[in-house]
Amino acid sequence: SLDGGEPKRLTQADTTARWLPPGRLLYMRQNALIARPFDVKKGDFSGEPVTLAAPVGYDGTFNIGGFSVSAAGQVAYRAGGVQRRLLTWFDRAGKPTPGTMAPDDADINYPELAPDDPRVAVVRTVQTNQDVWFTDLLRGSQERFTFDPAGDTQPVWSPDGMRIVFRSTRKGGGDLLVDLCDATRK
pLDDT digits 0-9 by tens, 6-38: 888 899 888 889 999 999 999 988 888 999 999
Greater pLDDT, 100 or 45: 45
d(CA 144, CA 131): 7
Q: Cα separations (Å) of 75 from 21, 22, 47, 146?
A: 10, 13, 20, 36
The pair phi, psi for residue 168, each rounded to 5°, is -140, 145
Query: In the prediction, which pLDDT does 26 show?
Result: 93
| 1 Cβ contact partners less than 8 Å away, ≥ 6 residues apart | 7, 8, 43
Q: Is the confidence at residue 183, as pLDDT, over 50?
A: no
Q: Is the confidence at residue 186, as pLDDT, over 70?
A: no
Distance of CA 111 to the CA centre of its chain: 14
| 144 Cβ contact partners less than 8 Å away, ≥ 6 residues apart | 131, 132, 133
pTM, whole model, 2 decimals?
Answer: 0.56
